[in-house]
Amino acid sequence: MSKSGKHLLHFLRRRKKENDAELDEFRDLMEVPDTFHNGFSLSSLLGTFFVALVMVPGALYMELVAGMGIGDAAQWVTVLLFVEVAKRANATLNRAQLFILFYMAGMMLSQQIHGTPLFRQFLVQSDAAIANGITNYLEPWIAPLTPEAYENRTFLQLAWLPAIGLMFFRFVFGTIDSTIMGYGLFRLTSDVERLPFPMAPVGAQGIVALADQVEGSVKSAGGSMRWRMFCIGAGIGMIFGFLYMALPTLTGAFFNNPIMIFPIPFAEFTPYTDDYLKAVATGLSFDLGQVMIGMVLPFWAMVGSMVGLITTYVLNPILYRANVLTTWSMGDETVETLFSNNVDFYFSFGIGIALAIAIYGFINVFLSRRKCKNFQVPEKKINIKERGDIPSKFIIGTYLFTVSTYIGISGYLIHWDIRVMAVLVFFGFLYTPLISYVTARLEGIAGQVIEIPFVRELAFILSGYQGVAIWFLPIPKANYGIQTVRYKQAELLGCKFSSIWKSALILTPIIFLAMILFSSFIWSLAPIPSSAYPYAQEIWEFEAKNATLIYSSTLGEYSQFQEALGGGRIMAGLLSGLSMLTVLSWFGAPVTLVFGVVRGLGQTLPHVVIPNIIGALLGRYLFQKKYGREWRKMIPIVGAGYFVGAGLISIFAIGFVFLAKAVSTVPY
């Protein structure tokens, strides 16, 4: 081997040791407790009704008026409210109970307006649906076919029962799947592979800091430090949140042009750089939260993301000149550029990369299982019974049952069309397990989620089915890997997993009932869209045009999605991914570097990668040098406080605008 090659090998192996130490640091940020507690209690149930009666209608209304919900901050508002009530009532709320409150609020507020019948009733009546011939193919279980069902503006009538019943089925089975399969993937990636889940301590440390306040442990040195770090982060978040989000929101309520110090969501540079960076999306996000995320996540994952981004900056102009990226045109901005590049190349290439990650992960799982029996980690025995685990055969059985039910009901609705049945089997038994496992590994290593765009669209188009019913079927397509972080947080906070399952079981009908009742009430106030709901009036017609354009692709007409899937590009992604993983692993490169590169290769908005790497560099070469190993324990708490502070300011601004809009529409 040449001298330069030896230097490279030595460099990579040294970085491998650093990476292993870094992963150990993330594993040691919070110790898994020896005892686990039941988090589901009367306070949790009261929190559920509070969110259902107060937060859900506000979230739905704000989406119609301003195009934005009340976000994750509502979870912290719920928890903070119950913390203050508990303190004044001299009641006790342990970490497990606070986590369940946080979990249930997040589950309820994750439901968006498009998951309710509100958007469906508009879509089937829209000019776009009529122009594209969609209304000729509607079924009663999609939306009522009679005009009388839309005259009284209420969903509480028999005509809406089939459509709402199918929504309920999708909602219930989706909840069962996400909770059970998320748990199974957590067992696989956390217990067997011992991945660190770097983002899990962020939310968990915030819960710990609040629990210290209730339990009175803030008087101890550790509790005092956690609360101080949490408050520092909250203060930073409130200041920046006011400048970044609240100022333009508040001024926009009173002036035609809001005062905006920082561009939202990012500064667009693509039209100014397309002369020398062909088919490259350029810009910069000024969101301080992205810098904070860069500090929290593993350093080498952020370096890998930057390497992947630079690779696309070099590769895209080459692909453009080679007539591969043909859809892109001069003047396109970020959204159009990413869309065009995905259709031309990165969609198929991303499928290949995902397959490579899955194969690499399965090999690691096989090697890990040789060292680990019954999902127990040799370094630290976990009391499976105390944690509330369930047998693996129950996980597999639940998934087989739910997928079979999805396929059975969809097959009945589609009259057992063999082409559609093949698509359902593909999603249920191949794509969903694959993408869920890949995402679970990425969450466990780099705190990131991977999604392959347009998979559903391409599968439906390539099936050869003609009609629009296929777009409204409850298909078994999901990404359960996202749920693994919740289980890691529950483990770190000593919350029994059975508490999560009890919460989901009780919460599901409450959430759905609240959504239907409040959706019906809001619809009864005024037609949707109308001037009473400015965002819906402005944007929904555009969204309907995009949706019906895609739906029309299964009516026998040409669709550009047919050009997006290519076997050669999939194979190129697979071979590239396997080669990169094999070579870097042989050289001893950090595994987080490899997964970071995958993230940078078109898997995320490129404008956030730059603030991410800025945060990573500041954390490693400034704060870590100043505070030493304690920095890794400090930054998750500061990060949790930051997002709480920024979220609270956002809620305040949205609530103020909500009141201003409501008062302005009152005639007297």
pLDDT tens-digit readout, 349-375 = 877 887 777 777 667 656 555 544 443
Q: What is the pLDDT of residues 230-262, one digit of tens each?
A: 788 889 988 998 888 788 878 876 777 778 888
Say if CB 593 and CB 584 are below 8 A apart. Answer: yes
Residue reference for tokens 């920095």:
631
Contacts 24+ apart (CB under 8 A), 361-368: 361/193, 361/437, 361/438, 361/441, 362/437, 364/193, 365/188, 365/192, 365/193, 368/192, 368/193, 368/194
Q: Is the pLDDT of residue 59 over 60?
A: yes
Tokens of 585: 């692993």
CA 538 to chain centre: 26
Residue among 509, 460, 404 nearest 49 (CA): 509
pLDDT mean over 373-380 = 42
d(CA 502, CA 497): 9
183 is written with which tokens? 């748990």
Maximum average pLDDT range among 28-37, 79-88, 159-168: 159-168
Other C-beta atoms lying within 10 Å of the C-beta of residue 175: 17
Token pair, residue 470, equals 């296929």
Q: Longest C-alpha distance within the chain, in Å? A: 85
Per-domain residue ranges of the chain: 3-30+111-199+262-627
Give the DSSP per-residue string, 560-627: GGGGT--HHHHHHHHHHHHHHHHHHHHTT--HHHHHHHHHHTTSS-GGGHHHHHHHHHHIIIIIHHHH
Residue 663: the pLDDT is 55
pLDDT confidence tier of residue 56, bands split at 50, 70 and 90: confident
Residues near 522 by beta carbon (within 8 Å), at least 6 away in sequence = 57, 60, 61, 64, 118, 528
Helix or strand holding residue 164 (H, E): helix 161-186
DSSP helix/strand/coil, 495:
strand
pLDDT of 377: 40
* pLDDT number for residue 372: 44
pLDDT value at 378 more than 50: no
* Structure token digits, residue 21: 């130490």
Nearest to 580, CA basis, from 309, 357, 428, 391? 357
* Nearest by Cα to 430 from 407, 464, 461: 407
Per-residue pLDDT at 564 exceeds 70 = no
- Tokens 């508002």 belong to 77
Is pLDDT at 600 greater than 80 in this prediction? Answer: no
Residue 1 confidence (pLDDT): 53
Per-residue pLDDT, averaged over 62-75, amounts to 62
pLDDT at 161: 92
Query: pLDDT tens across 323-333, in order?
Result: 988 888 888 88
Any idea which of 396-410, 413-427, 536-550 has the lowest mean pLDDT? 536-550
C-alpha 572 chain-centroid distance: 27
> How far is 578 from 586, CA to CA, in rounded Å?
12
Position 21 scores a pLDDT of 59
**Gap between the Cα atoms of 340 and 352, Å rounded:** 18
What is the predicted pLDDT for the residue at 656?
73
| DSSP β-bridge partners for residue 88 | none
Tell me the whole-structure pTM to 2 decimals: 0.70
pLDDT at residue 383, rounded to an integer: 58
Q: What is the pLDDT of residue 373?
A: 43
pLDDT classification of 379: cutoffs 50, 70, 90: very low
The amino acid present at 391, given as its one-letter code, is P
Of 565 and 261, the structure prediction assigns the larger pLDDT to 261
Amino acid at 24: D
Q: Which residue has the higher pLDDT, 453 or 622?
A: 622
pLDDT attached to residue 410: 92
- Those residues whose C-beta lies under 8 Å from the C-beta of residue 236, and which sit 6 or more positions away, are 288, 638, 641, 642, 645
Beta bridge partners of residue 284, listed in sequence order: 267
**The pLDDT of residue 17:** 55
What's the confidence (pLDDT) of residue 426? 92
User: If you write DSSP's letter for every residue of 236-299 in order, what string do you get?
Assistant: HHHHHHIIIIIHHHHHHTTSSS---SS-SS-EE-HHHHTTTSTT---EE---HHHHHHHHHS-H
Residue-wise DSSP of 334-374 = HHHHHHHHIIIIIHHHHHHHHHHHHHHHHHHHHHHHTT-ST
Whole-number Å distance between alpha carbons of 92 and 107 = 24
pLDDT at 376: 41
Q: How far apart are CA 482 and CA 93, in angstroms?
A: 27
Rounded CA separation 36/29 (Å): 18
The pLDDT, as a whole number, for residue 643 is 78
Residue 256: C-alpha distances to residues 51, 259, 533, 537, 665 (Å)? 33, 10, 17, 17, 17
Lowest mean pLDDT among 65-69, 157-161, 187-191, 285-289: 65-69
Whether the CB-CB separation of 303 and 592 falls below 8 Å is answered with no
Range ranked top by mean pLDDT from 121-125, 225-229, 564-568, 604-608: 121-125
How much is the pLDDT for 61? 72
Task: Calculate mean pLDDT across residues 533-541.
Answer: 72
Count other C-beta atoms under 10 Å from residue 297's C-beta.
28
User: What is the per-residue pLDDT across 262-278, written as a single tens digit (0 to 9) for each?
Assistant: 887 778 898 899 888 89
pLDDT at 650 over 90: no
Looking only at the bridges linking them, the beta strands covering 283-284 and 267-268 are antiparallel
Q: Which of 641, 642, 645 is nearest to 230 (CA)?
A: 641
Who has greater pLDDT, 92 or 426? 426
Q: What is the pLDDT of residue 614?
A: 94
Cα–Cα nearest to 506, from 36, 43, 48, 39: 48
